[in-house]
Amino acid sequence: MDLAAVILAAGKGTRMNSKMPKVLHPVCGSPMLSYVIDAVTGAGVSKIVVVAGYGAELVSRVVEGKAELVIQEEQLGTAHALLQAGPCLKDFNGSLLVLCGDTPLIEAETLVRLVEKHRSAEVAATVLTAEIEDPTGYGRIIRDEQGKIFKIVEQKDASLAEELVQEVNTGIYCFNVNGLFDVLKQITDANAQGEYYLTDAISIYARCGQRVGSVAIKDPREFTGINDRVQMADAEQYLRGRVLEGLMRAGVTIVDPRSTFVDREALVGRDTVLRPFTIVEGNTVIGEDCIIGPGSRLADAIVGNGVVIQSSLVIDSFIGDNSVVGPFAYLRPGTKLGQGVKVGDFVEIKKSYIGDGSKVPHLSYVGDATVGKKVNIGAGTITCNYDGENKWPTIIGDGAFIGSNTNLVAPVEVGNEAVTGAGSTITKNIPSGALGIERSKQVMVKHWSIRKRKSKD
């Protein structure tokens, strides 16, 4: 039987105090809405509809290719939100999961359990419920003497007795789509908040003799919605723990999980060690047998096997096998290191290719350069790639030796096996095998220090 999902995500999320819609705020590097989309996908849905409102344009970019988007122009309540998905589901006959976009901790298995119970019990609707210590703010589940749910009461509409009920509505449901939209149309906004409550669907079913079932959630944390940035930080911490645990079980050593941060989309190979104070962001991929950190940040980096990165920043760059980076290196976007490359301390590399076995060991800036194999770039070497208006390339051939403190004024080319004299400002191409040297002759002033001392007396 077919399964679809509607994710309600039209609210602004006022308590986030943000310009961005709540469901797009990232948790462990991914927007919270993506977690919900992944959970329903994992539960086996064949169709997902996201109801967006505030910031719908931004939301549409995140759901593109994964879900259909419908717009709820005015946020008149959860029932009204679900109604907007009606046209997308008119040819659909199966079970429908309904949940909110701000619950990134929800797991696919929980949804599967809800759907299975819903189907086996042959009911019209099944509510995922939770028994919690402090039910404040949630809709209360109200049952009759036989224990059957006959309504859900929102906090603001609850009587004193109803307020004491500790079984709450998680806001996650499974419905038979047949008949659901007719029920939704009967819902009114005659309540304390003047909203069209989706929860009223339950009492309508009960009144017309349709059966409503329930499934209790195992871990109440899964349904806690994120309403503000304090709750978001809590969720971040919890999800980070899940990500790190997954990596450790897959063979990654994480020396100190409390000071290690890995985004959900990142991949790390077996026997790689993540040392403390390391941050792995975005779509970073790290190979096997690497040592990353301490104190490194990698964002959207591709790292081969056997790489060592210490106290460095690597952004949108590629690092070949067995290369060594840092300490205190900065690889900026568009950098590609071949195999066995060494990039040492206080080196910045931008949009450059460094060939196999080459070394940039200390205090250099290499930008817009193509460097061959087995090149040595001496300490303090700078590519002068920018003339104030344009960026220009530098090309260095295989086996070249760049003397310390060379300025390479681009565009310029240094041939294979060519050498630059230390301290030279190179403005002309150096042919293969040649020495390019640019510096004035050294002058010797005899007895200079004795004369200086005497002049002070």
Question: Segment contacting Ca ion (CB under 5 A): 126-134, 225-233, 279-287, 390-398?
Answer: 225-233
The CA angle 435-440-441, to the nearest 5 degrees, is 95
* Ramachandran bin of 10, using left for φ above 0, alpha for ψ from -120 to 50, beta for the remaining angles: alpha
Residue 385 near which of ligand UD1, Ca ion, none (CB within 5-8 Å, type-dependent) = none
Residue 321's binding partner, choosing from Ca ion, ligand UD1, none, with beta-carbon cut-off 5 to 8 A by kind?
none
Closer CB to ligand UD1, 8 or 366, in the complex:
8
- Spatial distance between the Cα atoms of 142 and 257, rounded to a whole number of angstroms: 43
Catalytic hit among 25, 80, 118, 362: 362
Cβ 146 to ligand UD1 shortest distance, Å: 22
Are 79 and 187 a contacting pair, CB within 8 Å?
A: yes
Residue 191 or 404 having the CB closest to ligand UD1 = 191
Q: Which of 31, 55, 225, 378 binds Ca ion (CB under 5 A)?
A: 225
The answer to whether 185 touches 100, Cβ cutoff 8 Å, is: no
Q: In angstroms, what is the minimal distance from the CB of 273 to ligand UD1?
A: 40
Tokens 């919270």 locate to 32
Active site residue 362: yes
Task: Please give the Cα distance from 171 to 19 (Å, whole number).
Answer: 25
Question: Which lies closer to ligand UD1 via its Cβ, residue 135 or residue 415?
Answer: 135
Pick between residue 29 and residue 225 the one whose CB is nearest to Ca ion.
225
Q: Which does 358 bind (CB under 5 to 8 A by kind): ligand UD1, Ca ion, none?
A: none
* Cα 177 versus chain centre, distance: 34
Q: Considering only CA atoms, which of 368, 272, 277 is closest in space to residue 321?
A: 272
Binding at 54: pick from Ca ion, ligand UD1, none (beta carbon under 5-8 Å per type): none
Name the minimum Å distance from CB 279 to ligand UD1.
29
Strand order through the sheet with 278-281: 260-262, 278-281, 296-299, 313-315, 329-331, 347-350, 365-367, 382-384, 407-409, 425-426
Element (H, E) at 80: helix 78-83
Q: Does 139 bind Ca ion (CB under 5 A)?
A: no
- What does 80 bind: ligand UD1, Ca ion, none (CB cut-off 5 to 8 Å by kind)? ligand UD1
Task: Note whether 101 binds Ca ion by CB under 5 A.
Answer: no
- Which residues of this protein are in contact with ligand UD1, per CB under 6 A? 8-11, 51, 72, 75-78, 80-81, 100-102, 138-139, 152, 154, 168-171, 197-199, 225
User: CB count, 10 Å around CB of 390?
Assistant: 9
Q: How far is the CB of 225 from Ca ion (least distance, A)?
A: 5
> Closest CB to ligand UD1 among 35 and 138?
138
Which residue has its beta carbon closest to ligand UD1? Answer: 139
Q: Within 10 Å of residue 110's Cβ, how many Cβ atoms? A: 21
Name the residue among 205, 14, 71, 28 with its Cα closest to residue 38: 28
**Rounded to the nearest whole angstrom, what is the least distance from the CB of residue 115 to Ca ion in the complex?**
23
> Do 96 and 6 meet the contact criterion of CB atoms below 8 Å apart?
yes
Which CB, 171 or 403, lies closer to ligand UD1?
A: 171
Please state, in angstroms and rounded to a whole number, the distance separating the CA atoms of residues 270 and 163. 52
| Nearest distance, CB of residue 13 and Ca ion, angstroms | 9
Active site residues: 362
Q: Which residues bind Ca ion (CB under 5 A)?
A: 225
